[in-house]
Structure formats: structure tokens, C-alpha cells
Amino acid sequence: MTSFVLGNLPFPGQGGDQVVSKVVSTAIAALFKRTGKLDATVRAEPVAKLLQGSVDGFDFIGHSMLMYNGLRIKALELFVQAVSIDFGAVFKGQVRLKQPTQASLRVVLTEEDLTSSFNTPFVVEKLQQMTFEGQPLHFSSTEMSLNDDTSVTLESKICIGNETIPRSVNLTAKVEVYDRTKIAFVDAVYYGTDKDIALGQAIVEHVNDLMDLDSFALDGTQLRVDKVRMRNKELIFYGIAHINQFPQKK
């Protein structure tokens, strides 16, 4: 009976674990506007366990991923614990969890990813929600650099109110994680005139208020970061994703 069912799956010549791996990979890819190479590997031993929806776990590795809000990710790795899925939904190309699970998480961002993300309408709109000395701000040409001393440098052109000549805001800071839920710039060093420095301080305070991980999580998931590392001009986050339901494209 098992061989009959698995032998008549909608992907001829593939076993049940391969089918589920393909469906998981396709479902995750649909959450992003663009993706590079994606690999999903479902673990089930014996494979017949899949008929009851029992999965020992699955590994997912994605590269060059662009979210629909414009944010870029060089690499995303998820290592999911044992989980129960609705195997019947697989025939419809869907992933449905019967119960919540969690996954180890690794996210890699490059200088180019950070610079591109800070210039997206999604982020610029959030930055421009702040005011300085009662005046609105207009951001352009923001650049992020990752330094050898594990600090980050932010440079941006900003017009205050009706100014036509932008000010150059330049600052360097460390990146830390607080309460596993917030990413923050700390120990910042500011450059420029007194007004440029005051503007930079206000921007860091505003950005730190924005970087709440729950604001960036996909529907049905909750992110918790345990540590952040910088290596070879890459910013790497390690943590856990609590998955209550498989995310759906909005």
C-alpha cells in the first residue's frame, strides 16, 4: 500500500521525501519577489512516515533573495525540527503544519544588501517618519559599510525641511542584539558639525526604535536572534524562528 501511494505522487520518479522537499522549496520561493539557488531537504526515516505527515525535520538554504518590500538577503538558512504536516496538502502544492515548530536560523547580509535595503521606499518611508527640530527629513544616497573592526558606517544625504542642499550625515557604530528581539546601533561615533552630529544622534535613536524583529517577520512566524557576527564584510545573524503556521504570500 505504501509503495502504491508513494509511487503515484504528482512528481513521477520521485520519492515522498523528494516531493515534499520540492513543495517546501517552491512554497518558500513564493514568499520572495526573486530568489537565486534554493535547496530544501526533507528528512523522514522511514519515508513511509510521510503518509502520517511525520517529518524528522527539513533543511532549507536560499541564496540571493529579494523580499517583496525590497529588502535583500545574501543567504537564509533554516534547520527545522521534527514537525507534523498535512501530507494531503502536498498534492495541492501547499505546506500546512499540524502543530507549531521551530527552526535554527542563520541570515547573511552584505554591504550591498544593506545599502540597497536602506534605499528602498519601504525603509526610506520609515526613516522619513521622524522629524528634526520640528522639520521633516528627506533621505537620499544612503550607504552602509562593514568595517574590519566589526563596526558599521552609515553615510546619508539628508535635507531638513525646505533645504535644497543636503547635509552629509556620517557615523560609525557597533551592532548588538537586545532581548533577542531588537537590533541596535550602539557606541556610535559621529562626524561633522554640531548640527550634523545632533541629526545623526536623532537618526540612530529613530532607527533603533524601528529595528524590532517582529516588524520584519513573515506571517505566522516569530524571530529571535541570539547573536550577531561580522566576518569578511558580511553581517551574520544567528537565532531561532518560531513557526506557528507556514507563511503565506500576502
- Taking the C-alpha atoms of residue 149 and residue 134, their distance in angstroms, rounded to an integer, is 36
pLDDT band at 216 (very low <50, low <70, confident <90, very high): confident
CB 155 within 8 A of CB 176: no
* 188 pLDDT higher than 90: yes
Question: How would you label 150-166 residue by residue, b for 16+ Cβ within 10 Å and e otherwise?
Answer: ebbbbbbebbbeeeeee
The ranges assigned to domains in the chain are 2-110+217-243, 114-213
For residue 139, which of 154, 119, 122 has the smallest C-alpha distance? 119
pTM above 0.95, yes or no: no
Percent of the chain past pLDDT 90, that is, above it, reads: 55
Q: What is the pLDDT of residue 142?
A: 95
Q: What is the pLDDT of residue 15?
A: 58
**Mean pLDDT computed over 123-151:** 93
**Mean pLDDT computed over 192-199:** 94
pLDDT band at 5 (very low <50, low <70, confident <90, very high): very low
Q: Encode pLDDT of 47-91 as tens digits.
A: 777 778 888 888 999 999 999 888 999 999 999 988 888 888 887
**Mean pLDDT computed over 93-121:** 92
